[in-house]
Amino acid sequence: MNSEDNLTISDEDLRQIKATYFGMMSEVDAQIGRLINHLKELGCYDDTLIIFTSDLVNILEITGCLRNIVISIKHSTSR
C-alpha cells in the first residue's frame, strides 16, 4: 500500500499548515530585507551577489512525505 493512501488531513489542519508556511516565508522575507539593508549600509550591496538555495520541497516530493500538502500549497499560491 502506498503511504499517500493513508494521508488524511482535515481542512483545519491544512489551514494551519498553510498559515505556518506563509508565516515562515514572511520571516524569511524580513530577514532577507535586513541583510540587504545591512549590505547597503556597508556600501557593498552593489558589489555583492546573493544566492539562496533550498531543496526542502524537492525532498518532501521525492520521499512522498506530505506530498499532498506541498501540492496543495503550491496550488493555492498560484491562484
Report pLDDT digits (tens) over 6-63.
Answer: 567 788 888 888 888 888 889 989 999 999 999 999 999 999 998 877 666 655 555 5
Max CA separation in the chain (angstroms):
58
C-beta of residue 35 within 8 angstroms of C-beta of residue 50: yes
Q: Which pLDDT score, from 0 to 100, does residue 15 have?
A: 84
Residue 67 pLDDT > 60, yes or no? Answer: no
> In angstroms, rounded to a whole number, what is the distance separating the alpha carbons of residues 39 and 59?
32
Q: Residue 51, Cβ neighbours under 10 Å: how many?
A: 4
Q: Which pLDDT score, from 0 to 100, does residue 68 have?
A: 58
Q: Which pLDDT score, from 0 to 100, does residue 71 have?
A: 56
pTM tops 0.85, yes or no: no
Nearest Cα residue to 9 out of 39, 37, 46, 17: 17
Q: Which pLDDT score, from 0 to 100, does residue 40 have?
A: 96
